Amino acid sequence: MLRKWSVVVLTLLALPLLAHAQNTGKVAGTVTDATTGETLPGATVLLVGTTLGAAADVDGNYFIIGVPVGTYDVRVTFVGYQTEIVAGAEVNAGYTRELNFALQPGVELEEIVVAYERPLIQKDAVGPTRVINSEELLELPVRGAASVAKIQAGVVSKEGSGALNIRGGRSGEVRYYVDGVKNASTGVPQSAIQEQEMQIGSISARYGDVMSGVININTKSGAPNYFGSLEGMSSNEFDVYGFNLLSATLGGPLVGPNLTFFVSGQYRDNQDGTGRNVTTSTLSDDQLADLIEYPTGFQLLLPDGSEFIVPIPSTLEDGAYMLMDPSTGRIDTTGGGITFSDNTFLPIPEDASINLNPLSRLELLTEDDFTQELKRRGQKSRALRFAGNLTWKVIESGRFRVGAAIQTGDSQGSVGGTTEMFRSHIWSSNEYFNGQLHARWTQHLSQSTFYQVQAEYRFNNSESHDPRFGKEEADWWQYRDIDHPVHATIAGYKNYSLVNMEWTDDDGNTYLISTPTYRRRYQDGLAISTATTAGLLSITGGGLGYGRSDGGTFRMHGSATTQLGINQLEFGAEYEQGAYRNWGVNTYELARLFADGNPERIGAEDTELNPDGYTMLSELPTWLLARVVGGTGYMLDGKTKWDSEAHYFTENGYLSTSKDKPE
């Protein structure tokens, strides 16, 4: 568990102390006479549809600060001059949109409407900054904040990973903001994004605690008029990856123009999230089923020199031995084959020579046994995302905004590297629920000064498990129990040895014969390397376990911005407190203690253990429980949360506070 709090005060923007994501921008410029070039003091500049505006000063300069991110029509009027409008001007978070106007004299003329064009260079950007608006996002061939960032210069990312490395930095050095929420999840619906700003390398001073890059996302807000969108797409008819998406947005007035809303939702279902145009060598379902049922086989050599394999069923019992003919001291093949002590029968030609050491049938496959497929097995995922907000113009100079972004879903992936060709049944599963909430108050104290105060809370919950079993405690004990039917294939791998046994013939004569005996190669715990044949076919080793995590962070921050002549100053403060917890089960150790009739022992303290094994964590002594489970922020039982280092574990595994601790 990580628990932290911080209070930071910013005196000037030039001091890199406060990591504060801007969600407002600025419009500034000059108003002049188009004929003489003289400035027009007192010219009125207004953002159409809002109450935000300004009057040009004696030098013709104007500025409008605290403008919410979005696209605006900007109108300029002056007595005796023609009205001019710049349509569709973008206002980006934390930047100044420079718009200069040259008005034509004459009141008889119609107003002039000029289409806005984004400048090639953002003059007030510290370094290479890229801002992508909602229209551009719709045209991009990728989805998701990380995917959009990947196509920018200076950003690299491993294929199939959402981690970004900017200018050689680590992925953890990238800071994400969504609507001003720090370290927020970026899984908001793409149709809800108004703009995505990416600062790569050179970081603005307001992000003083960021090292590599900043991704700042601002979502759309409501408007006086209703608007919305509906989007659906599917690749089912065009490829094998099974990508399906449905997205919808709706915004507009809720109660008059002063209370507006915006909501968006998105559902995504993907059968192979990698979508690589690279084939994978794959076995068919029938081939896999055959190998799972018969993982090994005896190699036979016939008199004509030909060889073939007789499959051995995985159900062959542990310790089974071949029936012998006491009169000859050889394997009894009178029934047309070999019979084992558990009644397993394998047909064997009488004149065949047998290699009694079982071979892995998987190792005998050749290139011709595989087909090439684009789709990777089991790489599926689903996600449901929601984002919405309410904006209330409480007073003429102040507005209140509350918003939320929630994501929930599940994903499934193969365990252990790149050998997914063999893993049609063995996956790891992860379920998650996370999001963020925020409330923001913005108020203009004057034309040149405004302030913002925002409170936010972000949370995350996730749970991972082996989907072949379940998520309850009773299931964890069986994750690596070789007696479970799920592990029948692993149990099918046998080691061969000769054991001296007494055999009696029909005449009552007793003989001591070396008898082929077959015992399990693997035992409870099943820590099998993926490099082994058994690991390739039916991995039950690393990665298969149970774990969960949860956390929450509260943050409150505020800033004030004032314009002093041509200079803009910002002040701010921030408070943050959060906790992170995780807990998991070491199923390797747990299976060796399971009361399944053959519990194994771990550690030097074996004499303290119940010889019959266990079925509940509460039965384990504390020293052993601490080896079986682990994590931070939870008691060993995984049920009780704690969040202070002042707590300690008593001998019976319960928590107590330091004030209760005996001397």
pLDDT digits (tens, 9 = 90+) for 172-187: 678 888 888 888 877 7
Band the pLDDT of 663: cuts 50, 70, 90.
very low
pLDDT of residue 553: 93
Q: Please state the separation of Cα 69 from the chain's center in Å.
A: 28
DSSP labels, 27-90: EEEEEEETTT--B-TT-EEEETTSS-EEE--TTSEEEEEEEESEEEEEEEE-TTB--EEEEEEE
pLDDT of residue 247: 93
Eight-state DSSP code of residue 190: G
Burial degree of 338 (CB within 10 A; 0-12, 13-18, 19+): buried
Bin 344: left if φ > 0, else alpha if -120 < ψ < 50, else beta. Answer: beta
pLDDT of residue 232: 92
d(CA 567, CA 63): 11
Closest to 430 measured CA to CA, from 545, 528, 583, 540:
545
Band the pLDDT of 604: cuts 50, 70, 90.
very low
pLDDT in tens, 538-558: 544 344 678 999 999 999 999
pLDDT of residue 399: 92
pLDDT in tens, 608-626: 778 788 899 988 888 888 8
d(CA 1, CA 647): 13
Residue 221 pLDDT > 80, yes or no? Answer: yes
Residue 419 pLDDT > 50, yes or no? Answer: no
Q: Which helix (H) or strand (E) holds 21?
A: none
Average pLDDT of the segment spanning 158-167? 69
Name which residue leads in pLDDT, 585 or 212. 585
pLDDT of residue 565: 79
Contact 407, 427 (CB under 8 A): no
Contact 401, 440 (CB under 8 A): yes
Band the pLDDT of 128: cuts 50, 70, 90.
low
Average pLDDT of the segment spanning 15-34? 74
pLDDT of residue 273: 66
Residue 11 pLDDT > 90, yes or no? Answer: no
Task: Give percent helix, percent strand, percent coil of the chain, each to the nearest 5.
Answer: 10, 45, 40
Average pLDDT of the segment spanning 507-533? 80
Average pLDDT of the segment spanning 349-364? 88
Residue 385 pLDDT > 80, yes or no? Answer: yes
> What is the per-residue burial (b if ≥16 Cβ within 10 Å, else e) of 450-474?
bbbebbbbbbbebbbbbbbbeeebe
pLDDT of residue 605: 54
Name which residue leads in pLDDT, 114 or 267. 267
Average pLDDT of the segment spanning 88-110? 83
pLDDT in tens, 45-57: 999 988 888 999 8
HSE on the CB side for 571, CA within 13 Å?
Answer: 7
pLDDT of residue 146: 76
pLDDT of residue 274: 65
pLDDT of residue 626: 86
Name which residue leads in pLDDT, 53 or 138. 53
The model's pTM: 0.77
d(CA 351, CA 636): 62
d(CA 166, CA 198): 11
Residue 2 pLDDT > 60, yes or no? Answer: no
pLDDT of residue 75: 92
Contacts of 224 (CB under 8 A, 6+ apart): 49, 252, 253, 257, 260
Average pLDDT of the segment spanning 20-43? 87
Average pLDDT of the segment spanning 484-504? 89
Q: Which helix (H) or strand (E) holds 215?
A: strand 213-219
Task: Tell me how far apart the terminal alpha carbons of the chain are, to the nearest angstrom.
Answer: 27
Average pLDDT of the segment spanning 547-572? 88
Contact 428, 543 (CB under 8 A): yes
Kindly report the average pLDDT of the chain as a whole number. 81
pLDDT in tens, 308-337: 899 999 999 999 999 999 988 999 988 899
d(CA 56, CA 29): 9
Contact 221, 251 (CB under 8 A): yes
Closest to 31 measured CA to CA, from 78, 87, 73:
78
